[in-house]
Homo-oligomer: A and B are copies of this chain.
Amino acid sequence: MTALARHDNRPIGIFDSGVGGLTVLQALIRQFPHESFIYLGDTARVPYGSKSARTVERYTIQVAQALLDRHVKLLVVACNTASALGLTALRRYCPTPAMGVIEPGCRLAATVSRNRCIGVIGTRSTIASQAYPQTLATIDGGIAVHSWACPLLVPLVEEGWYRHPATRLVVEESLREVPASGIDTLILGCTHYPLLRQVIQEVVGPEVQLVDSASAVARTLVGLPANLLFPAAVGQSQQITFLVTDVADRFREVAHHFLQDQTAVEQVEVIDL
């Protein structure tokens, strides 16, 4: 009992503009089977990726506050756009540790890349924010970065068109500059993109390594102080709570794809922000 008492058994809060962050949740559930999670999808205001820094910052703080009200011990901003545009303001505002998906993704990419030439794809706002090139520069000033906005990929994923010929055409068009760029690593800078991993890999070819936020965040959390997260051996039962800001039907409908059918979405509570 004394060993247990040293651990903090409050849940981890994860948030995203919609369903995309569920890829991060699924990676964390797998990595930390004795941690509990509260996932909040801001489905009333999705997508963030086409909105301004000012608006995304405001939304990020509102959503984080709703999770802080539920006593989370750690906030994971599992949305690239909110990480790019809202995390700095959030850290100023928030008494609880907060992490985004960009720094973990950059660290993993910098480790994986051999030629120090890295590509990033994301929403229009994420790419415009320059958050990836700036973060990569702080890790290794010698890394060359190429960025491409792919605003059509999120709608295609949301429709479940993972293997449709139209999706293939959109990916080809969006990534047409990849071969000439010389990148050997491509960061999937949006939590929706892991669902298109197969078609993206086919289009960029096997010599380009894909890095996704979900696994990168899970790797980073492993490095956190031991008294914050339960090691896998501790027998605390895992609770997963889902909150959304708009009706739950559509969320429930698509969530299982993002969770790879490994986590059931039973109760989904609708909250007002």
Contacts and interface: CB of A to CB of B under 8 A. Distances in A.
A250 interface: yes
Contacts of A158: 50, 151
Nearest to A18: B50
Size bin of chain A's contact surface: 20 to 34
A4 interface: no
Number of copies of chain A assembled together = 2
Contact of A55 (B54, B151, B246): B246
Contact of A247 (B54, B165, B166): B54
A269 to B, nearest CB: 14
B151 A246 contact: no
A17 to B, nearest CB: 12
A43 to B, nearest CB: 8
Contacts of A247: 52, 54-55
A30 B83 CA distance: 44
Contacts of A199: none
Nearest to A165: B169
A52 B161 CA distance: 22
A94 interface: no
25 contacts: A44-B51, A44-B52, A44-B55, A45-B45, A46-B50, A50-B250, A51-B246, A52-B246, A52-B247, A54-B247, A55-B247, A124-B250, A151-B155, A151-B158, A152-B156, A152-B159, A152-B161, A152-B166, A154-B155, A155-B155, A164-B173, A165-B169, A166-B166, A166-B170, A169-B169
